Amino acid sequence: MKKILLLPIFILLLGCSKDEDIAGNQEEFFMAQVDGEEYFVGGSNSIIRCKKHLTDLGTIGLAVKASTEEGKDIEIIILNYNGANTYLFANNTYIPINGNWMKYSQALPQGVWSTTQNTITSNRAILEITNDDGKTISGTFSFDAQDEFRESIRSISEGNFSVEID
């Protein structure tokens, strides 16, 4: 009788490969290409934060930040968040006109590249929220950003994410 009960359990265990198990548990992720190099945040060694909040202007704001163990961050701020939509970023300042900005920063070598300093590059900065079900936000993004002090440019492309709202 024990052999009959163990057989279905054994078959179920064989049916799940390790790759399927990892992919099934990989719900939250944040990825992009930074100047052609892969940027990936996901799993237990990374930090992803996503918060909706009431702004001083009385609108709903959205803040998303993904950080790697190596001290590389991508941050997206929208001051007038309207759910699944397309959001444009172009030559903004931290003082909100439309209030949206994106930035890439790294600890070593230290630097911060932002759409708020984007006076040299084209106006290529876009975020598309494809899903917001109240628990998870998903979307795509790309932007060119400028470092205020070095006047260097970083190109962040092929951005894709799915994050849980805190």
Residues 6+ apart with CB under 8 A from 114: 101, 102, 103, 104, 145, 146, 148
What ranges do the domains of the chain cover?
28-164
Of 161, 148, 151, 144, nearest in space to 35 by CA: 144
Q: DSSP letter string over 116-153?
A: GG-SSS-S-EEEEEEEE-SSEEEEEEEEEEEETTT--E
Q: DSSP letter string over 105-118?
A: EETTTTEEEEGGG-
Among all chains, which residue has been given the structure tokens 């024990």? 2
pTM of the model: 0.78
Q: What is the pLDDT along the chain (166 residues), one digit of tens a residue?
A: 544 444 443 333 333 333 333 334 458 999 999 999 999 999 877 899 999 999 988 999 999 999 999 999 999 999 889 999 999 876 544 444 457 889 999 999 899 998 876 555 555 789 999 999 999 999 999 998 888 776 788 999 999 999 999 9
Q: Which tokens is 160 given? A: 């894709």
